[in-house]
Structure 1
């Protein structure tokens, strides 16, 4: 159970990093930016990410629990890679935009495209260890794919 708490702590540390990057900008440039018609209201993102980080943590914990039965190192390495990309995206998207302008949105798009691939590879790797863990990542992957469309739209509409 301690491992689950650790996975949750790591995920929510990434979330905290993301929230510090967004705090001043959601009501700043982001509020004024032209957005896609399918862009949800800002209040949706907090609850969505809270659920997704929780599901991600439980998935990683389920994989970790299988460490005596199978090698989980490749799966958990991919999990860490996608978590790092996740952590990088938010400050680039929200934090660099005012100083770099629209090019930061395009840089963020490259990062989130890499994240799309990393989450898919993580899901496939989790599948080999725990199918439940892989399924728990499906909502996260769907949300990241959706966020990719939002990032692309913001970059295209505000360049």
Structure 2
């Protein structure tokens, strides 16, 4: 049992849970197919691998920060990743399950702020861990612009 790396197991569980729940909350329904979307939207197949890479990097960042941190900093890591997980999981049900891209757009700044907080909060603990979050921050910014354009092209 001494060989178990609990921080690594927890980080992988966080990543898998976000990917799995996010995927389950993203049905490919007729409603979504009928939405007008911008020409620069990535193909649907790219989202799963993209999120897996982004959240894999975030899990790696969590493990690095946990291992480098003091007990107080480890508590901060848990809070940062917990808050982010909550905001991460809110977007898909708003957009896809409730079919409200406008409500999802209102939620995006909270998600983006939670990712930015991860970068800022991890920086003093482990700078590489903070840098590993940057693709997540960039993707959420891109996804926000995509969400905005979907709202713009599909007024209620």
TM-score, normalising length from structure 2?
0.90
Matched, 1:92 2:88: no
- How far did residue 68 of structure 1 move? 3.5
Matched, 1:4 2:24: no
Secondary structure, counterpart of 1:40 in structure 2? coil
Matched, 1:40 2:42: yes
Moved over 4 A (4+): none
Work out the number of aligned pairs and report it.
Answer: 151
Change (3 A) 1:132 1:70: farther
The answer for the alignment partner of 1:28 in structure 2 is 30
Secondary structure, counterpart of 1:78 in structure 2? helix
Task: Extract unaligned runs of 5+ from structure 1.
Answer: 98-103
TM-score, normalising length from structure 1?
0.88
Q: Could you tell me how far apart the structure 2 residues matched to 1:105 and 1:122 are?
A: 25
1:21-48 deviation per Cα after TM superposition (whole angstroms, max 9, x unaligned): 113xx24222221011211110110110
1:103-130 deviation per Cα after TM superposition (whole angstroms, max 9, x unaligned): x211101111111111111101100100
The answer for the alignment partner of 2:20 in structure 1 is 16
Q: How does 1:42-121 map to 2 (within 5 A)?
A: 42-68=44-70, 71-97=73-99, 104-121=100-117
Secondary structure, counterpart of 1:22 in structure 2? coil
Task: Extract unaligned runs of 5+ from structure 2.
Answer: none
- RMSD over aligned Cα atoms: 1.5
